[in-house]
Amino acid sequence: MSEAAPSQSPVTVSDRDAVRTVTINRPDKLNALNAATIDALHEAFQAAAADESVRCVILTGAGSKAFVAGADISEMNTLTPSQGRDFSLRGTRMMRFVEKMPKPVIAMINGFALGGGLELAMCCHLRIAADTAKVGQPEINLGLIPGFGGTQRLLRLAGRAATLELCLLGAPIGADRACALGIVNRVVEAGTLEAETMKLADQLAASAPLAVRGMIDCINVGGECGIEEGLEYESAQFGLVFSTDDMREGTSAFLERRKPSFRGS
């Protein structure tokens, strides 16, 4: 991806067919998350959720060095305890919205994803990283703890032992180890990252949108409840898709040995 010059907006948006790319555009600050950037991201994802022409979203950072190198330390340095809590809640609300998006969101990790950057990547549905990327939760080195869900999502993705290691030691790890731990889904050569991510996004954009939404809902619910409740929810969602034209199209296309054309209805 080409280097993006700083602009007035901390977030830029571009579309290619049914795929929208949201780019954090603060390369001079390694795309660090300040309050304005968090708000701009929230607005960008709300717009993507509401836009019927968008079926998949790619999230990345401008430049070649960082996805997001963390939260903006210069902004956090003077916060009071109540302001710090408010800043945490601001980021958490935005990331929770991304996590519950009805459309798949792919984090394209093109460089450092540290602290708030890793937390932002983890709230996305899929993560594809360049082989040169580094991820971690270095807040301990600043006398802080993760504030945007790092202890919670990392625990669910990588387990207790890895979460304690990354949070307590604060050292970043490479993309290959992150993949082995389940923190990222795929690792590709840095030079092919954009093409591989777009290929994955195109595949998701061509899938049945209502079925995609149902899967995301079921997995989110299942990750936060007991097995019985999760199974009940899945059965209910399974029944609902039988009311869709896409389900009829998909099953008919299979029986007729042709490629389905899903319309999101």
- Catalytic positions are 119, 139
Helix/strand/coil for 240:
helix
Give the largest CA-CA distance in the chain: 64
What's the rounded Cα separation, in Å, for the pair 66 and 44?
20
Q: What is the DSSP string of 60-123?
A: EESSSSEEE--B-HHHHTT--HHHHHHHHHHHHHHHHHHHT-SS-EEEEE-SEEETHHHHHHHH
